[in-house]
Amino acid sequence: MTAEREYSPEQQRRDGWLVAIFVTSALALVAAVIGVGFGARAIDESKSTLSATDAAAVSAPSTAMVHLSEFKLDPSSVTVASGAFLSVMNEGATAHNLAIKKTDLKTATVDSGGSVELKLGDLALGTYTMFCEIAGHEAGGMTGTLTVTKGSAGASDAPAAHEMTADEMDDAMNKSILAFPAKTKGLGGQPLAPTMLADGTKQFEMTSRIVDWEVAPGKLVKAWTYNGTVPGPTIHVDPGDKVAIVLKNELPESTAIHFHGLITPNSMDGVAPVTQQPIKAGKSFTYKFTAQATPAVGMYHSHQDAVKQVPNGMAGAFLIGKLPVPNGVTVAEEVTMMLNDAGTIGLTLNGKSFPATAPVVAKQGDWIEVHYMNEGMTVHPMHLHGLAQLVIAKDGYPLPQPYNADTILVSPGERYTVLIHADNPGTWVWHCHILTHAEDATGMFGMVTAMVVK
């Protein structure tokens, strides 16, 4: 039997103190280890944060490309490092420049196809508005944002964007074509029926208002409209008709209607404040006149803040009677094609951008009468594949000697009337031949449609 060991009171007190000291030391060691761990983590996080900040500071490129066209900046938002420069290229059909608001920085005027550099120098960090200074171009859509951030122009540029391969380009083109004709909400340019007054006047009711307009599939814009459509409804009367146009203004600003290309009394010319007072928001005005005795192919559009209201959608066709056609021609269909290139509506035919543009479908042997109307801000050479266009009138005035063409150059404000004999079966592409208005590596877009001859 083993004898049990006995401890004196002094020994018991000494052993208790040793245990306490050991436990305290162990806890201190654990705390130190944890503290070192947290300290290391804090240092790592500090380094990580510093690295991210430094990376952000130097990630902005020392140069950026800005493309000018009718009427946009591409890209519309640019970020560069302090001391950088912009490479500016004009891909449009008319002259442009690029300026930075609230600074003295701007390029010279750049002709179509030209390029120039804009050095930002010591421009302070911050966000600026860049725009084209040529009259009307900023309001037409040539505006964007420039952000100058920390970094130096000597820093490495950001990685280059992916360059589309030939196969990717082919796929994109196929997708754009297969989507045509795409369905969108809203149809402009439809005939507007008049109310017949007791004295025989044909009265047309119109309201100017802002609506959501689907330009292309899924692309909604704030359109300024007559009766909620782009183009506005088509007005068609006979020579000598008494006409009344009642316009109610639901816009946030004044407006007025000018009857472009029509002969009216001076008081009905629709140019405020020359021939009338502007139609204030919430007010109405009635235009009254007798339609001219000869046929006319005219337009109606706003003549108040026109650089905004017209490209944003406030235009429509006004036809009087029928134009004479050559002997032996019977017109199967009359088509109006409103051209636009600016504002919220942008590059469009009858208020729609490809693939939402509507094709013209004809039976083989039909004659189609087309009225080109340019309410845009630049010229548009309208080219039809596979079929001749017989030009029979300019601005509604019949030509004594009609002529054939496959490309018709339509300037702003002009109207050309052509006859197309659908004698060649197939689907024929029909587009503006300023290529930046119709096609790029991503496929067809903008001012493109087709004539289908069955």
- How many structural domains does the chain have? 2
Position 363 pLDDT exceeds 70: yes
136: confidence class by pLDDT, cuts 50, 70, 90: confident
444: confidence class by pLDDT, cuts 50, 70, 90: very high
| 3-state SS, residue 394 | strand
SS (H, E, C) 337-380: EEEEEECCCEEEECCECECCCCCEEECCCCEEEEEEEECCCCCE
Q: Using one digit for the tens of pLDDT, what is the confidence trace for 29-39?
A: 334 333 434 34
- For residue 37, the model assigns a pLDDT of 45
Q: Taking Cα atoms as reference points, which of 383, 446, 378 lies closest to residue 412?
A: 378
Position 58 pLDDT exceeds 50: no
Q: 172 lies in a domain?
A: no
* DSSP type of residue 136: T
CA 216 to CA 124: how far, in whole Å?
39
Q: Using one digit for the tens of pLDDT, what is the confidence trace for 220-265?
A: 999 999 999 999 999 999 999 999 999 999 999 999 999 999 999 9
Residues 203 and 142 in one domain: no
Residues 279 and 411 in one domain: yes
* DSSP type of residue 435: G
Q: Say if CB 116 and CB 107 are below 8 A apart.
A: yes
Q: 348 lies in a domain?
A: yes
Residues 311 and 370 in one domain: yes
Residues 338 and 272 in one domain: yes
| 3-state SS, residue 287 | strand
Residues 219 and 330 in one domain: yes
Q: Using one digit for the tens of pLDDT, what is the confidence trace for 178-232?
A: 999 999 999 999 999 999 999 999 999 999 999 999 999 999 999 999 999 999 9
Q: 288 lies in a domain?
A: yes
Q: Taking Cα atoms as reference points, which of 296, 300, 189, 315 lies closest to residue 237?
A: 296
Scan for tokens 């406030």, then name that residue: 314
Residues 141 and 281 in one domain: no
| Mean pLDDT computed over 329-342 | 97
Out of 3-17, 156-170, 210-224, which region has the weakest mean confidence (pLDDT)? 3-17
Residues 283 and 349 in one domain: yes
Residues 221 and 320 in one domain: yes
Residues 230 and 92 in one domain: no
Q: Read off the CATH number of the domain in which 269 is found.
A: 2.60.40.420
Q: Write down which residue in 149, 169, 204 finishes a domain.
A: 149
Give the range of the structural domain holding residue 412, as residue numbers without chain letter: 195-453
Residues 142 and 209 in one domain: no
What is the maximum span of the chain, computed from C-alpha positions, in angstroms? 141
Q: Using one digit for the tens of pLDDT, what is the confidence trace for 255-288?
A: 999 999 999 999 999 999 999 999 999 999 999 9
- For residue 398, the model assigns a pLDDT of 98
